Copies of this chain bind each other. A is one copy, B any other.
Amino acid sequence: MADAILGNPLEEFSLIARLIAKLPQSRQTILGPGDDCAILAPAQKSQIVTVDSMVEGVHFKIEWTTPEALGARSLTVNLSDIAAMGGRPRAGVINLAIRPGLGLRFFDRLYAGLAKEAAAAKIDIVGGNITRASELAITITVMGEAPDGAMRRDTARAGDEIYVTGTAGDAAAGLRILAGEMRARGRHRAYLVNRYLSPSARLEAGRRLARMLPLPSAIDVSDGLAQDLGHVLERSGVGAEVEAAAIPRSEAYRAVVGDDLALALGGGDDYELLFCLRRGESAAVLSRRLGVAVSRIGRIVSGRQVRLIGAGGKRQRTLGVTGGVAGWNQLREH
């Protein structure tokens, strides 16, 4: 994990390397940062692995967030993929692309946020790599295990009920508030912006879901509810009917955005779980079982169409035919 920079290595590199080296390790990590590879204890269960990246100007603006929140969120987006499989995170490695203008204090705070999130999720940051670039980018690979079987996108069947945790569209509204495209004040503003800047990965809900039989199909809502549902439908070769009125929206969303479903269906970054159950359960029972609010939003049907059933069940709108990326773009075209 060395970095061969053309020219002299930056002084900051070794300083930042010390930050990584400070992150605590559990006993399952045999060797942490500082060698060519990290060494992990053997894994008895199926392993799962995911990679995600946060690029300045693409996924975040540095003036919108604290370094701590950015560090935490960089890990959360990966933990959310682990949650969507019903897995337990185990170890992560970080590739940090740094640009001029960000000092050691910034990275100290970024790593503090990351370390706190890692500790909460019981994951070791076992290594990393630092490189120069023209924009800050934090790329994290997380490895985990799926002791109860891994929930996949390709196992939804016609007749399954579709559920989602939490509320939809909050993060997208928060992003638009930060970007000055939407106006909000007070606690509603704080709630929505916080949902964007400091999302939670539904690790515990995912673990509990993975204990249900038959194993649910699941995905995390990162691209937006319609698009992520589209991924499940495409991989499973099925269609869906979604009830507009059932899309869960927060009080803040209703207060700031109103009745418009566009962000709830099309906005990303919520990091909630969307899942499909063969044997339907009431939302109340599932909410208790998973430890998080759950809403039933529709059902899987045969065919390849996605239909949005309007409030009252009268209006019907085709969300888009699955295949390729079903989601927001398709939604806007219809």
Measuring CB to CB, which residues of chain A are less than 8 angstroms from any residue of chain B?
Answer: 1-6, 8-9, 13-14, 30-31, 34-53, 55, 57-59, 77, 80-82, 84-85, 87, 91, 93-95, 97, 126-129, 131-135, 137, 139, 141, 143-144, 146, 150, 152-154, 175, 218-220, 222-223, 228, 231, 235, 268-269, 324-325, 328-329
Q: How many copies are assembled?
A: 2
Contact A49 B133 (CB under 8 A): no
Contact B52 A129 (CB under 8 A): yes
> Chain A contact residues: over half helix, strand or loop, or mixed?
mixed
- In the complex where A9-B325, A59-B131 touch, is A50 in contact with B1 (Cβ < 8 A)? yes
Contact B93 A58 (CB under 8 A): no
C-alpha gap A134/B134 in the complex (Å): 7
Q: Which residues of the partner chain B approach A131 to less than 8 Å between Cβ atoms? A: 53, 55, 58-59
Contact A59 B6 (CB under 8 A): yes
Nearest residue in B to A9 (C-beta to C-beta)? B325
Nearest residue in B to A84 (C-beta to C-beta)? B36
- In the complex where A30-B46, A325-B14 touch, is A39 in contact with B146 (Cβ < 8 A)? yes
28 intermolecular pairs with C-beta atoms under 8 Å apart: A2-B222, A3-B52, A4-B269, A5-B58, A6-B58, A9-B223, A14-B324, A30-B46, A34-B235, A36-B84, A36-B153, A36-B220, A37-B84, A37-B150, A38-B50, A39-B46, A39-B47, A39-B85, A41-B46, A41-B47, A42-B42, A49-B91, A49-B93, A55-B132, A93-B141, A133-B135, A134-B134, A134-B135
Contact pick for A42, options B47, B51, B91, CB 8 Å: B47
Contact B93 A50 (CB under 8 A): yes
